Structure 1
Amino acid sequence: MSATETGDSMLVQVERDGVVLVLGHRVGEGRPLLIVPGVMADAVSWQPVVDALPAGRPVYVLNRRGRRPSGELGDGYGVGTEVADLRRVLDEVAGRHGGDGGVDLFGWSYGGLIALEAATRHSGVRSLTLYEPVVRPFGAQVLDSLRAADAAGDLDRAVEIVNRDVSGFSAEYVAELRRSPAWQVLRPLAAPLGRELTALNEHHADLAAYGKLDMPVTLLVGGDDDGVGPYWEPFARIAGAMPRARVHVIPGQGHLAHVQAPAALAAALTQALALA
């Protein structure tokens, strides 16, 4: 692992099978927290949550492969690729902090699925917090459209598809988003989207294995998604498989609290970590 430090933060690099994975890192003392974003997100987009977390503990945010400055998805990409990456990162992060204390792991959306799978395969995960994790089937109805957009190199169309046809946002919302500076940030993040959703829908989650996890688990759901919307069904399936997990609702939020209410999400995460 190598690191480039700037003030109280740094970029950390981990290599696995020739692919470089880059993490944002807030320095600190004690047991580290590792954040795994989902699709259409990277370490930069999660920085407001990191900034809102109480100072002190070290925090890492993984730029999963397929988003800069990490490497490309590579041949044979699947959920197994992501899980192997995360297990490697967990080893390295734990090693930076003595190893014995383990790592608190947080995953959002597709990153939540990856975190779940890694937690069943890595003894160093001390607690697990998941914000609206997803399992198959999810977004399968848009795969053909996403593949067509990818073949045409049309990142604008890919951003539109994920917001309108997966997340269910209105045409007015997407039109306003297109006019905002955020659109240009989202375009490159959409490049791996088709392959990521394909991998998600090809992966058979072992729900029974999730229920056997013996570390503290907190499942976060936005109040606006509680019982409704495209993210509720996969969340409910995972929650049903993990009856010992604590479920916490973030009032007034949907799937994007890291963008729309980072302080509220940081507060919910902090509360979960206090119970670990």
Structure 2
Amino acid sequence: MGELELVGGVAVETYGSGPGVVVVPGTNRRAHHYQELASALAGAHTVHVVERRGRGASAARGTPYSVEVEVDDVLGVLEQTGSRVLFGHSYGGLIALHAGLRQELEALIVYEPGVSLDGSFDLSWLEAFNRKVADGRFVSAMATFLKGAQLLPFKATPVLWAISLLLMFGREERDLMPLTPAELAEVARLDSDGARYAGITAPTLFLGGEKTPSYLTGVLPRLAKIVPQADYAILPGLDHNAPDESAPDEIARQLRQYLVRLGR
């Protein structure tokens, strides 16, 4: 774990030295899941990983909830640390994009942001998921989430599902599950043609993985056309959890290359 400090209502884990980079975790993720990514960047940057509300030492998440509550926290971290580069993963990428709408940045990088364009993010399973969470049936809710989000093999057998859930679903995942419905509801609420993102002024890089379901990567070329200074890349062999689990070193390399290209 990096050095821990509180910024407003959120805890922040800090690694390394150099120009600042703020990292925003995704749904069902904690700051510590990005330790390897932060460590890989720490030789050239000071990396500040946000512990989003409702997690760890951060304050509880209040109601009503919206993505803008998270944006307020991220903007506070950017101001406190003097950082001008922002990276977001999954739902954290959605937060990062909306932060980019409110503040000028030197660079904005997102990996498979939770953006729905013209209904691209199918949330027809959300009602069933919400009922299970409300009833405290968290393992069943996780199964519904993983199937609906296509984050396990499409033809997985019942045995594989059972093994996967046993491996993935611990106490921490159980504690985070009640936070998920409101985040998915924001993805649905913010579904649009994407025109709002034309207001992002920062040089922006959209990244995705070749092994990720197409609904998460298919929006990237569209977003790259909408955002004025944007590029995108689909990385061979990577999946949705590349930044936090399967390939943090490669994602760090992509970030470093992009920032060097920008002279940051």
Please say whether Structure 1 and Structure 2 have the same fold, judged by a TM-score greater than 0.5: yes
SS in 1 for 2:197: helix
Aligned to 1:272: 258
State the SS of the aligned residue for 2:214: coil
Q: What are structure 1's unaligned runs of at least 5 residues?
A: 1-5, 95-101
Pair 33,131 (structure 1): closer, same or farther in 2 beyond 3 Å: same
Checking the alignment, whether the CA contact within 8 Å between 1:134 and 1:235 is kept in structure 2 is: no
8 Å CA contact 1:10, 1:27 repeated in 2: no
The answer on 1:153 being equivalent to 2:142 is no
Alpha-carbon separation, structure 2, partners of 1:54 and 1:23: 15
Tell whether the 8 Å contact from 1:109 to 1:131 is kept in structure 2 after alignment: yes
In the other structure, the counterpart of 1:98 is: none
Question: 1:180-259, aligned counterparts within 5 Å?
Answer: 180=167, 182-184=168-170, 185-203=172-190, 207-225=194-212, 229-242=214-227, 244-258=229-243, 259=245
Distance 1:46-1:192 versus aligned 2 partners, 3 A rule: same
The 1-side partners of 2:261 and 2:141 are apart by: 39
Paired with 1:54 and 1:65, the residues of 2 have a C-alpha distance of: 24
How far has the Cα of 1:232 moved from its partner? 2.4
Q: Which runs of 5+ in 2 are unaligned?
A: none
User: Which 10-residue stretch deviates more, 105-114 or 44-53?
Assistant: 44-53
Paired residue type of 1:253: L
TM-score by length of 1: 0.83
> Where does residue 70 of structure 2 map in the other structure?
82
- Paired with 1:158 and 1:68, the residues of 2 have a C-alpha distance of 22
Of 167, 171, 178, the residue aligned with 2:150 is 167
| 1-structure distance, mates of 2:21, 2:4 | 15
Amino acid at match of 2:55: R
In percent, how many aligned pairs have the same letter? 29
Task: Deviation per CA, 1:10-61: give whole Å up to 9, x if none.
Answer: 112112xxxx2111111413x2000011101111111121122251421011
Per the alignment, do residues 24 and 139 of structure 1 end up closer, same or farther by CA in structure 2, a change over 3 Å counting?
farther
> Aligned Cα RMSD in Å?
2.2
Is the alpha carbon distance of 1:206 and 1:26 closer, same or farther for their aligned partners in structure 2, counting shifts above 3 Å?
farther
1:10 paired residue number: 3
Question: Quick check: 2:201–2:228 contact (8 Å CA) kept in 1?
Answer: no
Q: Which amino acid aligns with 2:7?
A: V
- Amino acid in structure 1 at the alignment position of 2:114: V
C-alpha separation in 2, matches of 1:217 and 1:250: 16
Aligned to 1:3: none
Moved more, 109-118 or 229-238: 229-238
